[in-house]
A and B are shown apart, each in its own frame.
Chain A
């Protein structure tokens, strides 16, 4: 599991890659939170295209990221989620509060 980030203007891109399970989720949230706290972006794109596996732990990571952004008025979108991850996020109703799979302007 890796978390990379890139700041473009006031938009923070977070790239998740590898296997996002319970074992990886804690560290992923720590790294995501550190990047958010440092930059406090108004817009954040969580790019999931590099994930080779995700279980319900990924739902908690997306919700945790959403809550952290929302606490200071930031917005989150999930981009390029693999079908499998999108299916899980939709099953949990996350798509009702965070847009999923939106095309992102580079």
Chain B
């Protein structure tokens, strides 16, 4: 699939960067002319993916989080969030609704929200090596809405 546009952002796994990440992707996605609801779904999904990296990837230190957003042919937004942290032992369990290792301050709904708000979600992880979350959403051209 042809890449029309691409941006990359690299930051430390500090929670203050969650807002930066979703705002950057939101600005980038604006060129697809999404509806407010689509933009809200995209921002929330990016926030969930980046929060996972902040909370889980580097439990007792700071590490790098790499965010890449692409616009692909056909009005498709692709967002990839990658860390080099502890990884996920059981991806199936991590993706199931309400499952969390984050305690009372987390809801365990992150992956469920990403799955529901985006068209596709792929998670690849290796314990000790890190996790990559890749998601895509097609933004309908306004003329076809």
Kindly state whether residue A7 has any CB partner on chain B within 8 Å. Answer: no
**Could you say which residues of chain B place their CB within 8 Å of the CB of A22?**
15, 18, 47, 51, 54-55, 106
Say whether, besides A56-B106, A56-B107, A64-B104, A21 and B113 are in contact (CB < 8 Å): no
Pick from B15, B40, B43, B106: contact of A60, CB below 8 A. B106
Say whether, besides A21-B51, A22-B55, A57 and B107 are in contact (CB < 8 Å): yes
**Could you say which residues of chain B place their CB within 8 Å of the CB of A60?**
104-107
Tell me the residues in window 70-117 of chain B with beta carbons closer than 8 Å to chain A beta carbons: 97-98, 104-110, 112-113, 116
Q: From A26, which residue of chain B is reached at the shortest CB distance?
A: B105
| Inter-subunit contact A92/B18 (CB<8 Å) | no
Q: Is the interface of B mostly helix, strand, loop or mixed?
A: helix
Interface centre among A19, A60, A84 (most CB of B within 10 A): A60
Q: From A64, which residue of chain B is reached at the shortest CB distance?
A: B104
Assembly CA distance A89 to B129 (angstroms): 33
The contact size tier of chain A is: 20 to 34
Chain B window 17-51, contacts with chain A (Cβ cutoff 8 Å), 1 for yes, 0 for no: 01100100000000000000100100110011001
Kindly state whether residue B143 has any CB partner on chain A within 8 Å. Answer: no
Pick from B37, B48, B54, B108: contact of A55, CB below 8 A. B48
Interface residues of A (CB under 8 A from B): 19, 21-23, 25-26, 29, 53-57, 59-60, 63-64, 83-84, 88, 91-92
Contacts beyond the supplied A21-B47, A53-B22, A56-B107: 18 A-B pairs with Cβ under 8 Å: A22-B15, A22-B18, A22-B54, A23-B15, A23-B18, A26-B105, A29-B105, A56-B51, A56-B109, A60-B105, A63-B107, A64-B104, A64-B105, A84-B40, A88-B109, A88-B113, A91-B112, A91-B116
